[in-house]
Each structure stands twice: as structure tokens, then as C-alpha cells.
Structure 1
């Protein structure tokens, strides 16, 4: 496969890896901004990532071989064109349509297709900037120019000196054509509103779901807390005599001291949730987190380890291992079912939350100035007497 096909296929192959790398940060950002992750925000964000990946691959691929670079050097191939609008002169001089050829031949000639490609390359970029990112015309102009300058610099430096000479031409006409494409995309972006909900509707939908403390939201906060606790434990292992002591002390800090002082763990604050207990009742948080850490970090992994050890333990201890597995099976299954219920009922209180009396609640963001018109509509009208003139001059008039 040649032409545009190879870079596009490569982008399709690379995209799942990029998706995996960006998905967790994307979730944190959405929960931090809106309190929820919605379908359209996810589609728009990662379709933009796929577009950008494809566009970048179209610019840099295929990568050259050493023989290709030596050939370009031997024939004295130019590395830059600083003559603006040379593409226009080339179009009128070389395009067969102006020399007796048919329209089809003119449209398929490189003098047209290369210019058209450079325009079309950034049309989606302008559409995303206008429709989803809500950027104005001049901001789109600047950002598109900066994007195409990045492309041209990448080409001129031989992929930032990975290669010893440029294998693509730095072309000032590409700067003009790419920037034009971004502006065309900005102009036609409102057409997307025929098929897609507006950005305001996407945001409104996300905020309307922000009060839910979903399983994903809980897992993200727990995961971040666990990473921080692991980092603290690593530091403490340089001081304390054994790893177990370092782990326990780090857990006490993350799930004990911090929420006792702030009413939420660091991970919870990132995804905008907190414990639903009064300040005077924060001792319940300690009970809750002690049960949570005991269940999720110690008990459940220990039970799974027992199951995994059945193929390696000696015959003398196998029966005892099976006994422990069956003994711990009921609480382990209850723990899993308790977590799974939150998938369908986000407001479901987990078992250790019920025992401790300390649940979780969402931190709803305060109203911004952009929401002022909505507040105005919901405000109760003032009595008529409050709207009478109060100053002497107003009464006179």
C-alpha cells in the first residue's frame, strides 16, 4: 500500500496504544471538570486525538532509509522553499487542464492534489477548534499556523535531527495552505451541529450527572491514593526496618491522617468527592478506611493468592489450603458483589460504608459567571415595593 494508505494504517495501529496511555488522565480531567464522563465528551476528545495522530503520521511517514537520504543528498534535493505562492504558479504552468487536458486529468495531477491535500489536512482541526473547543476565528488562525509551523519544522529538522538531513521539503506554501484549511474548517464547523449535540449541551449533560459517585470515580480516587501511598512507602523503606511497617505507616497517612484533617483523601479531592460525615464525626472515616484497606489490600488479594497456590503447595498442606479458600469464599464473594452493585446503583453504599456510617458524596462545583442567566431565571422575583425608586431624584422623575 502506498500514498496516504500507509500512514493512515499506521495511525490506526498506533491509536489503541495512545488511547490506553491517555484514557486514565482523561477520566481524571473529566471528573475534575464536570464530575462525570459522558459519551459525547469521550467521542469528541479521542476522535480529535485520532485525527491529530493521523495528520502527524501523514506528515512524517514514510520514514526514509539511509539510501534515500544519500540519494537526496547526491542529487542536491532542496530542503526548503521560501517563495510564497509558488504552488499557484506551478498549478497554472503544469496542470494539464490548462494545456488541453480534461477536468479529471487536472484534478488528479500532483499540482492540484498536493495543494488540496495541504488544505484538507487542517480542515478538521479548524472544525474541532470552533465546534468543540469553542475558539474564535483569530485564535483558530494562530493555532492552525502554529500547528503547521510545527509540521514544517519537524520536516526541516529531519524529525528533530534523528536523520542527518531533511527528507521532506520545508515549504512556505504549506504554511499558507494549511492555515487556510484550518480557517475553512472553522467556517463550516456549525454544520456539525446538524449531527452532533453542541458543546454546551455536552457540558450540561456531564454536569447533570456530576452528583453521582460511580464505581469508576471511586476506583480512580482509590488508585491515585494507592499510588501516593506506595511512593510514601518507598521513601519510608529507607528509614524503617522492614517493608510492612513502611506500608502500614503510609496507609495511615493517606487513609487516616489526611482525611481526618481535610475530610477527603488526596485522590478523592482530585475527582471531587469527599466523605459525607460531619467534622465531629470524622472518626468514622478511620473505621471506614481501616475496613476498606483490610478488605481490598490485604484480605481479597490473600484469598486470590491462596487460590493460585493450590497448584504449587505440597500434598500435606493442600487440604488446609482448600479449607481456608472455602472459609474465606463467602466474604470475598460478598465483597465483589458489593462493588458490582455500584455499577448499576452509583448511590449504593458499600458494606464498609454502612458499617462505619461514613459514605461518599460528590463535591458539586460552584456556579460560574457563564451560568448566571440560568440563575437569573430561577431566582424568585423581588416584591414590587423593592423596585420603587429610593433616591430623591428618582422620586422626582
Structure 2
């Protein structure tokens, strides 16, 4: 019987890397927006929650029928009698109330194992709600019931019509035992929380003044910005306006940060901003920073590798120019890799006298204002 549980668990662990990859980007954005940085313990707990939910999904949903055109469950697809599993246990065992030696036989019955499994299945969910999310017990009951109901509905509908018939029984006892497991996990979390770091005090033990903008954070901001200005540039290119790419870049990376105190939409989402040593960056500093980053090197690549423009040049000169640009690309790549590993500034930051700073959430900014003038800004 226990082998039937190992099959879905193995699938869950194989699926986890893919799910974690999809989960990481929204997770990082939300953590940056809410807390201003990534706390390792907070991240560990949330990834464990993701792994747990994947395991629960596979344990409840697998195995699927061999074909979409399946037959309905034998004996019907609904079991609406509360606590019927108790009667099934008593009926299938050699239990006799007057004979204590028969009590142990209850533990060997499949209905008993199924009920225990349904309780244990939701214990971690209740622990996450009680320890990390700090919910009230009423909320824990409702969420545990709703999660169980979601799985039961998914099964009774044949994954919302994907299969011709339900492939599992909608059992009201599963709702009861799953909810009981959530409550038990919630109580366990309250008992052991005294021995664990308090979630609401994680930020109080961190030196926020020592936090720096990571290249991961900058990369996310760059991707988010590209999702905005590249489509905008494409739309502008449909009009007769000349040089749509350069105009879009000038508006997005020069005028917008100048008006917003060094923020683009991507930087705003991950709570960082561009700042010079004197505070709000001047327009010429932004022009040097983003001109080197988005105009000079990328611009040379676009011009020299554009077939229409290359035809206007001498073939030998065009080939030499392309070689120089490729060498510049390689040097920039090497410089970027070295800067990432050494945690140094990139060359366009040094030349422009600008850098990225964290825009802390208000509650953390006020708490750290007396300790770090930089955070208080």
C-alpha cells in the first residue's frame, strides 16, 4: 500500500525544479516589493510550501485513468454520509467491544490507513498557516476545508471535463479528515513556534544598511523594463516617426527616471532606483549611463549587422567593423562576468557616477532611519 504513495511523491520531486523555476520570478518580485530584500529563511519556507503543495496535488490526483474515455467509479461517485469510514473499519475488522485484544486489529484495516493518511496529508498545510502566515484558527479551518474541497471537486468533475467520468469518489469523510489534519498542524505550529525564529521579527535582526543591490535584482528589473519599452518601440516603428528605437530609449531611460527620481517601471517593481552621489541623478549622468548601456554597444551591433545599412559600406570596412564590434561584445561580457563575481560596479556606472540603491518599504525605512542615513533617504 505504501508503494502507491511513493509513485506520486517521486513525480512531485521530479516536477519541483520546473515549478520552482516558474515560481521564482513572481516570488522575487513580491519579496522585493514587500520586504525590500530576500531573507533566506523566508525563501526556504515558501519553497518548502511549494514542494509540499506539489506533493499533495500528485498524491491526491494520481494515478490518472489510462484513457480520457474512462468508466465511472464502481458503486457510484458520491459518498455523502459523514464518518462512514468508522463503520467501514468496524465492519471489516474482527473488532469486538468486549474483547480488548481485538482493538489492535483496527489499525490494520485499509479504511483506517486512508483516514490517517488524509489527516497527515494536511498537517503541514496547517503548520504553514500557523507558523509562517500567522492566520487565526478560524481561517485555518476555512482554508484547509477549501483546499480539500478544491481537490474533491477536481476529481468529481474528471479534472473539469478532461475525463469523461469522475475517476475518484467525492467523499465527505475526506473533507472532514483533511480539515482535521489542518487544525492539528495549526496546533503543532503553535506548540513549536517558541523554538523557531519568529517570522514577524526576521527583519528586525537584519542589518539593512549592509544590503546591496544584487545583479539578480538588476537583471529582473532589466527584463521587466524590456517587456515595456521593446513593445513600445515596436508600436512606434509602425508610425512614420524616424528612429523609433532611439526615441523610445530616450523617453524611457532618460526622461522617465529624471522625473521619477531614478526609477523605471522595472526598477520600481523590484524597489531600486538610480542615484548619483549628490542624490537625484542629473540628466547628463543618465544619458552617459544608459547611452553606454543601450545606445553605444547595442547601437553598433544593430547598425553593422543590419543588411540594409551594411550594403552602403565598403565590404572590407564592414567586415573589419563587425570584427571590432564582436570583440567589444566579448570584452563587455568578460567585464560583466568579472564584475558579478567580484561584486564591482560596471564601467558605465563608474563613468556616469551613478549606482543602484534599494528603495526600502516605509515600515523598514522608519525602523532603520536612526541607524542608517542611506536607508532613511
Q: The TM-score by the shorter chain falls in which range? A: 0.7 to 0.9
- The answer for the alignment partner of 2:158 in structure 1 is 158
With over 3 angstroms needed to count, the CA separation of the structure-2 counterparts of 1:249 and 1:324, relative to structure 1, is closer
- The answer for the alignment partner of 1:366 in structure 2 is 362
- The answer for the alignment partner of 2:17 in structure 1 is 16
State which drifts further: 40-49 or 200-209: 200-209
SS class of match (2:362): coil
TM-score when normalising by structure 1: 0.78
- The answer for the alignment partner of 1:85 in structure 2 is 83
- The answer for the alignment partner of 2:308 in structure 1 is none
Distance in 2 separating the partners of 1:161 and 1:335: 50
- The answer for the alignment partner of 1:349 in structure 2 is 345
- The answer for the alignment partner of 1:390 in structure 2 is none
- The answer for the alignment partner of 1:124 in structure 2 is 124
Deviation at 1:110, TM superposition (A): 0.6
State which drifts further: 294-303 or 350-359: 294-303
Contact map agreement 2:273 2:356 (CA 8 A) in 1: yes
Distance in 2 separating the partners of 1:375 and 1:355: 30
Deviation at 1:227, TM superposition (A): 1.6
Contact map agreement 2:215 2:340 (CA 8 A) in 1: yes
Contact map agreement 2:275 2:281 (CA 8 A) in 1: no
How many residue pairs end up in the alignment? 358
Distance in 2 separating the partners of 1:18 and 1:208: 30
Contact map agreement 2:96 2:103 (CA 8 A) in 1: no
Deviation at 1:24, TM superposition (A): 1.2
Distance in 1 separating the partners of 2:41 and 2:302: 36
Contact map agreement 1:123 1:186 (CA 8 A) in 2: yes
- The answer for the alignment partner of 2:331 in structure 1 is 333
State which drifts further: 289-298 or 45-54: 289-298
With over 3 angstroms needed to count, the CA separation of the structure-2 counterparts of 1:33 and 1:298, relative to structure 1, is farther
Note if 1:149 corresponds to 2:149: yes
- The answer for the alignment partner of 1:178 in structure 2 is 178
Distance in 1 separating the partners of 2:180 and 2:6: 24
Distance in 2 separating the partners of 1:35 and 1:174: 41
Distance in 1 separating the partners of 2:241 and 2:282: 35
1:160-210 Cα distance to aligned partner (Å, 9 max, x none) = 111121111111111111000000000001455477533134444567378
Distance in 1 separating the partners of 2:324 and 2:280: 41
With over 3 angstroms needed to count, the CA separation of the structure-2 counterparts of 1:275 and 1:113, relative to structure 1, is same
Alignment of 1:1-397 (within 5 A): 3-66=4-67, 69-70=70-71, 72=72, 75=74, 77-96=75-94, 98=96, 106-190=106-190, 193=193, 196-204=196-204, 208=208, 211-240=211-240, 245-263=243-261, 264-277=263-276, 278-279=279-280, 281-294=282-295, 297-298=298-299, 325=323, 329=327, 332-333=330-331, 336-338=334-336, 340-345=338-343, 348-367=344-363
Distance in 1 separating the partners of 2:317 and 2:104: 80
Gaps spanning 5+ residues in structure 2: where? 306-314, 371-377
SS class of match (1:352): helix
Distance in 2 separating the partners of 1:327 and 1:15: 41
With over 3 angstroms needed to count, the CA separation of the structure-2 counterparts of 1:128 and 1:280, relative to structure 1, is closer
State which drifts further: 165-174 or 273-282: 273-282
With over 3 angstroms needed to count, the CA separation of the structure-2 counterparts of 1:198 and 1:295, relative to structure 1, is farther
Contact map agreement 2:297 2:329 (CA 8 A) in 1: no
